[in-house]
Structure 1
Amino acid sequence: MMLTRHPANPLLRPDPLKRWEALNVFNCAVVQHQGLFHMHYRAQGVDYVSHIGYALSPDGIHWNKLEQPVLSPVHDYEARGVEDPRVTYLADEGCFVMAYTAYSPLGIKPCLAISENLVTWQRLGCVLPGEDNKDHVLFPRKIRGRYAMFHRRPPNIWIAYSDDLVHWSNHQVVMEPRPEGQGWDEKRVGGGGVPIETPEGWLVIYHAYDRHHVYRLSAALLDLEDPAKVIHRPAGFIFEPTEPWEIKGDVPNVVFSCANPLVGEEVWVYYGGADRVVGLATAKLAELLEFAKSG
């Protein structure tokens, strides 16, 4: 199967009048809350430093941006940017957790921040110190009494657990690239948006790339109480760059998703196209589950 692109694509474009987002807007988080869609997007200006902007929408299609970013580099470990937000709502705590990547000469660091209003964020700092790591995203509920989070130690998707969102342990590999020469996901795999809980298991949208550095998306099902256990992982993919703005941009041949909210009976996959703009592609939840169970 393939996701269906929305006819309004691309939904979000750079604003040449704003220095901090004049070049690229991409790789966004999207959550529905109190009847509105809330987007946090990665933006780059003329200096290529990444900030995280915020936009609001009544329908998930038409967006109004704040004039200034809601998260910008502050610390040395963020000197070159704060990137690729993924936002999880923790219903039991009544708060939002943003997983974002800090980039600097010190490396690539996975960080977390907490908010109650989606605009002001309290940083928790780097949560996996001492290593280059990214593509982390928090599960929407505790598993066996602990917070759970995907992360990536190249080239694999890992999972870790925590009691306090700061100290993480029990690291396990969830998914590895397929053997060289055996598919679209032969080089690296990484997590996408917030895992979707279904009776069939955790539905996860993930990305991968091959030797030609083409990024694609696929879906897999993981065990509800042991997400390190992959129940189904089809060999195929559900989305690849075909539009001109997905093939040509700041980084060519990229569709990269940090958000896949469930909207009614559909999964809405927001994605960055060639690291330049934001697009949307959708599928019925039932169809995605059927695809995932085929592997």
Structure 2
Amino acid sequence: MTPEPGNPHEAEGVLNPASGCGPDGQLYLLPRLVAAGNVSRVGLATIDLVDGVPTGVSRLGVVLAPETGWEQSPSHSGVEDPRVTFVPMLGRFLMTYVAYGPLGPRPALATSVDLLTWNRLGPLHFEYQEQLHVDLNLIPNKDVVFFPEPVPGPGGELCFAALHRPMWDLDWIVPGAGSPLPTGVTDDRPGIWISYVPVAAAIQNVAAMTHLGSHRLVAMPEYDFEALKIGAGPPPIRVPEGWLLIHHGVSGDLVPGVDQQQAAHYAAGAMILSAGDPSVVLARTAKPLLAPAIGAEINGVVPNVVFPTAIEQIDGRTFVFYGMADSQIGVATLDRSEE
């Protein structure tokens, strides 16, 4: 998907989409559309297939725009980088997205039964955890994805779980405040965390999905391609070995406080999380599965970026949809290795 000429919603790019198969059997893409001034909306398009391979999109309009106070900032407003998970037990699609508001990037949640219309549930709230000595609600956060089915929680209770990426940088809110770290964490690089919602509470009221607790660290940067930070990509999918998580890793140089980096390098790797305890990493790739290699991935608003955010099974094949240099959207096949 490339920006549509003359479409003001796409003047600065189309990128980082969510996806889902609606109750009508149609496969949809929900791209981030960026207008002038870095104002983002979430669009909707059907995915065009030729012999089971995605080849293009047919636009249907905008399904989410920055309309609330917590989605609007003096610098730039936006609803950014959506990820969509269908949760059969709830009978709903969950869209997590970054609401760029007065205090910087904060995760938010919306729900839908058909992918066509969405109901905001509001910003995510992270319950205070005394042993961490950090209130996660004060910390900017991104890359939130929900698992599609319940998993065991820390105490054995059946829970819905979400992965997320706190950024220990209060300078977003109070310049000079620094980076207070949770107790026991000595590395200030952003990593992947997990938090939980009891199934019973969510079944009673889906709004409980905005109240996350029992926060745990899952993974930190470990290899060269993810030297600066890592974050979850598409929602995890169940495989025989556990939960397959495609993630992004960032290397190079990052300038604090800058949204559209020019000297960073984004690549995609993968992890297997334990089915019995998804806070445990069983295996991960030491080298990227996908890295910037073609022109549209190397040149763009933010150069040298592949940023996976959606994954779909089509006719028995797995396709990963990803942002290309914060300007376009690409798709790649994900094949199982026999090695």
TM-score scaled by structure 1?
A: 0.89
Paired with 2:232 and 2:36, the residues of 1 have a C-alpha distance of 28
Which amino acid letter does the alignment assign opposite residue 207 of structure 1?
A: H
- Structure 1 gaps of 5+ residues are 1-11
1:279 maps to 2:330: yes
Tell me if the contact between 1:16 and 1:23 (Cα under 8 Å) persists in the aligned partners. no
| Match for residue 242 of structure 2 among 184, 190, 201 | 201
Which amino acid letter does the alignment assign opposite residue 102 of structure 2?
A: P
1:51 maps to 2:51: no
Q: Which residue of 2 aligns with 1:6?
A: none
Change (3 A) 1:117 1:35: closer
CA drift at 1:119: 1.5
Tell me if the contact between 2:48 and 2:58 (Cα under 8 Å) persists in the aligned partners. no
User: For each residue in 1:84-135, what CA deviation from the matched residue of structure 2 results, as whole angstroms up to 9, or x when unmatched?
Assistant: 0000001122210001001123211000100011121111111033321010
Q: Report matched runs for 1:26-175 at 5 Å.
A: 26-33=15-22, 34-59=24-49, 60-66=54-60, 68-79=61-72, 80-128=77-125, 129-144=137-152, 145-154=158-167, 155-163=190-198, 164-175=208-219
- Structure 2 gaps of 5+ residues are 126-136, 153-157, 168-189, 199-207, 254-263
User: For each residue in 1:131-186, what CA deviation from the matched residue of structure 2 results, as whole angstroms up to 9, or x when unmatched?
Assistant: 210100010011132110000013110000013202101111111012xxx51111
Query: Whose Rg is larger?
Result: 2
SS at match of 1:193: coil
CA drift at 1:244: 0.9
Paired with 2:278 and 2:316, the residues of 1 have a C-alpha distance of 23
Paired with 2:147 and 2:97, the residues of 1 have a C-alpha distance of 14
CA drift at 1:38: 0.8
Paired with 2:312 and 2:214, the residues of 1 have a C-alpha distance of 27
Paired with 1:270 and 1:185, the residues of 2 have a C-alpha distance of 20
Q: Provide the identity percentage.
A: 37
User: For each residue in 1:182-228, what CA deviation from the matched residue of structure 2 results, as whole angstroms up to 9, or x when unmatched?
Assistant: 51111100000010101210011000111241000011101012110
Q: Which residue of 2 aligns with 1:9?
A: none
Displaced runs of 4 or more, over 6 A? none
Larger RCO, structure (CA 8 Å, separation 6 or more): 1
Tell me if the contact between 1:222 and 1:231 (Cα under 8 Å) persists in the aligned partners. yes
CA drift at 1:253: 0.5
Paired with 1:13 and 1:90, the residues of 2 have a C-alpha distance of 30
SS at match of 2:117: coil
Q: Which residue of 1 aligns with 2:289?
A: 238
Q: Which residue of 2 aligns with 1:19?
A: 8
Which amino acid letter does the alignment assign opposite residue 62 of structure 2?
A: P
Paired with 2:166 and 2:81, the residues of 1 have a C-alpha distance of 16
Tell me if the contact between 1:83 and 1:103 (Cα under 8 Å) persists in the aligned partners. yes
TM-score scaled by structure 2?
A: 0.77
Which stretch has the larger CA shift, 34-43 or 118-127?
34-43
Paired with 1:138 and 1:132, the residues of 2 have a C-alpha distance of 18
Tell me if the contact between 2:20 and 2:115 (Cα under 8 Å) persists in the aligned partners. no
1:217 maps to 2:268: yes
